[in-house]
Structure 1
Amino acid sequence: MITQLRVDDRLIHGQVALVWTKELNTPGIVVANDNAATNQMVQMTLKMATPTGKKLLIRSIDDAITVFNNPKASDMRLFVLTNSVTDALNIAKAVPNIEGINVANVGRFAENANESTQLSSTIMLTDSELDSLKELATLEVPVFSQVVPSNAQTPITALLKGIK
């Protein structure tokens, strides 16, 4: 079961490694990202950033979906990271057991960030990512933004108000 699917353009970093893994108390972290699945340098960096005692699995989006839908995974508590709202949408549409989707940090470092719609100080989306977020908000799973656990969860629907 996916305890939290987090959209974070940095994937594993200090905030995720030190704060979220403790908060969610999951034994495993899954990075669902096509680039990370094929890039040895990214994999090495992610492994170095993974907290001691946590298992790390790096898979493409399609392979991660296969893992999540495997009956063996239904009893596991997993913290899943991806760096794209569209990838999160694809996972959410294919995987039934997700407790919550946290759109936390995305789009700030994109090449076309100046052409993006800013929903918060940590969420800047291109038109296609914004469309994916709107669709994600219609699914029957809580979708929110929460940078760190001490912040209140802001429903994505509240951030989308007034956005066409």
Structure 2
Amino acid sequence: MIYLRLDERLLHGQVTTTWIGFLGIARIILADDEVAQNEIQCQLLKMSAPKEAKMLILTVEKAANILNDPRCEAMKILVICANPYNVLKLIESVPAIHDVNLANYGFQANPNGVNKKMLTSNLSVDPQELEVIQKIMAKDLNCYCQVLANQPKKTIVIH
């Protein structure tokens, strides 16, 4: 089972302390072209990886290739993307993705929310990102916002 999460923070305490155990994750894939090319950021992320799950940091294309391998069907994999563009690329490339958590995005680069639309309390997008989110939500997927594992899933409504 592949769980795809949008979280601009990528790997952080909530992922390492709660989501891994809650979902029974065996593998974590951080799918981001920029991060995969940044050796320092990769080293920092690897230092914070949980011992319970093997982690890979890959470009979106490499992540899609791995996720399309039939051997992945037997694993529980958490895939984290830092932006909605990468989420869309993955769901268009990996038919096995059915679960998309649009959990946390839109605050690091633009903390004041200038020209942003709040879709949930943890999801804020500009007009171009909104178009991408609409494309994601138009797919036949289980699409929701769930920031913490012990919180209920929120439906995302776009007005």
TM bucket (normalised to shorter chain) is over 0.9
Q: Matched residue of 1:57: which SS?
A: strand
Alignment correspondent of 2:117 = 117
Q: Deviations 1:76-118 (Å, cap 9, x if unpaired)?
A: 2210000111211111111111241000110111248412111
Task: Give 1:40's aligned residue.
Answer: 39
How do residues 82-161 of structure 1 correspond to structure 2 at under 5 angstroms? 82-111=81-110, 113-156=113-156, 159-160=157-158
Paired residue secondary structure (2:106)? coil
Gaps of 5+ in 2: none
Q: TM-score, normalised by structure 2?
A: 0.93
Task: Give the corresponding residue for 1:62.
Answer: 61
1:18 aligns with 2:17: yes
Shift of 1:39: 0.6
* Distance in 1, Cα, partners of 2:82 & 2:44: 15
Q: Which runs of 5+ in 1 are unaligned?
A: none
2: CA distance, partners of 1:62 / 1:7: 17
TM-score using structure 1 length: 0.91
Counterpart Cα distance in 1 of 2:54 and 2:75: 12
Could you report, residue by residue, the CA deviation over 1:13-46 in whole angstroms, capped at 9, with x for unpaired residues? 0011111111111111000001111111111111
Task: Give the aligned CA root-mean-square deviation in angstroms.
Answer: 1.4
Count of residue pairs brought into register by the alignment: 158
What is the identity, as a one-letter code, of the residue corresponding to 1:35?
E
Deviations 1:107-146 (A, max 9, x none): 1112484121111221111111111111111111100000
Equivalent AA in structure 2 for residue 117 of structure 1: K
Q: CA deviation at 1:152?
A: 1.2
Q: Report the counterpart of residue 49 of structure 2 in structure 1.
A: 50
Q: Which amino acid aligns with 2:155?
A: P
- Could you list the structure 1 runs, at least 4 aligned residues long, displaced by more than 3 angstroms after superposition: none
